[in-house]
Amino acid sequence: MIDVALALDARAELGEGPVWDDRRACLFWVDIMRGLVHAYDPATGADRAFDVGQPVGAVMPTSGDDLVLAVRDGFARLDPATGAVRLVAAIAHDHPDRRMNDGNCDAAGRFWAGTMALDERPGAGALYRLDPDGRVRTMLTGVTISNGLDWSDDGRVMFYADTGTGRVDCFDVDPATGDISGRRPFVTVPPDCGAPDGLTVDCDGGVWLALWGGGALHRYFPDGALDEIVRLPVTHPTSCAFGGVDCRDLYITTAAIALDADARAAQPQAGGLFRCRPGVAGRPANRFGGAR
């Protein structure tokens, strides 16, 4: 059994998108609907929040000193030294009730992030890619809740969760161009286990998946077989990422937004940031605009 501990009593409404920045030795994560980007320092326990002025679905370090964000209006850059935010690529939504939800960078430094409708209606979202040259490409349409994504170590397989499908799917990837093809199911999550949310791939090719409403993480072998279940003291984990000095700490973001008053009272740690040591290492995060 893997023990899970509360690292930070963050009380986030919708914590998401953890990513370890090895240069700063801190974990960045977001509280989506509050429009906050957090920087958590495990050495001191300090957590600093940046208000970016609109819902923010994902954050990633860059090859420079700033951060790249997936925000409601598109893609933005955040300077942690000053807190200044600037939009660098707008996304033209055909309805005003869309927002970004989750994202990640591939090994070529391309930032992938997707959208969803606020009412979660089927097919209203899409998956986009911001390239280092500033161009935005639409990679998928007809998405319901664009969620976690990561790649195999050779970059030739992308794992992707559209929560509305109840699955994590695989795509074949051309690492040079980033083009994707050959979509197929990787795992289907039984409804009584929760809904697929954020995910990360470890050094052994295992896929760690947060289960919204399921109170757990699942680890799957590269062939899709279930390997490990990590139980949490809250029902709505949202994503996970490896970090720490040895990249063996697994950080888990959670949410309280789906809980009524009674459930919040029963889960006082909902919205907290959790940590465990599952016995396997993760990989350093890719950076926008450059390699790890």
- Would you say residue 109 has pLDDT above 80? yes
Q: What is the sign, positive or negative, of the torsion defined by CA atoms of 193, 55, 79, 159?
A: positive
Find the mean pLDDT for residues 180-197.
Answer: 98
Single-letter amino acid code for the residue at 157: V
- Would you say residue 93 has pLDDT above 90? no
C-beta separation of 30 from 16 below 8 A: yes
pLDDT at residue 292 in the model: 52
Q: How far apart are CA 142 and CA 165, in angstroms?
A: 11
What six digits make up the tokens of 114?
A: 């997707």
Which residue's entry shows tokens 């470890």? Answer: 202
Q: Give residues with Cβ within 8 angstroms of 218, minimum separation 6.
A: 187, 189, 193, 208, 209, 211, 226, 228, 229, 230
Q: Would you place residue 92 in the very low, low, confident or very high pLDDT band (cuts 50, 70, 90)?
A: confident
Q: Is 197 in the active site?
A: yes
Find the mean pLDDT for residues 77-86.
Answer: 96
Q: Would you place residue 56 in the very low, low, confident or very high pLDDT band (cuts 50, 70, 90)?
A: very high
Average pLDDT, the chain: 96
pLDDT at residue 97 in the model: 87
Q: How far apart are CA 240 and CA 254, in angstroms?
A: 9
Q: What percent of the chain has pLDDT over 90?
A: 96
C-beta separation of 249 from 274 below 8 A: no
pLDDT tens column, 198-207: 999 999 999 9
DSSP single-letter state for residue 262: H
Structural domains in the chain, CATH included, are 4-276 (2.120.10.30)
Single out the catalytic residue among 197, 202, 249, 260: 197
**DSSP labels, 196-251:** EEEEEE-TTS-EEEEEETTTEEEEE-TTS-EEEEEE-SSS-EEEEEEESTTS-EEE
Radius of gyration of the CA atoms of the chain, in A: 17
- Would you say residue 134 has pLDDT above 60? yes
What six digits make up the tokens of 7?
A: 């690292």
pLDDT at residue 189 in the model: 98
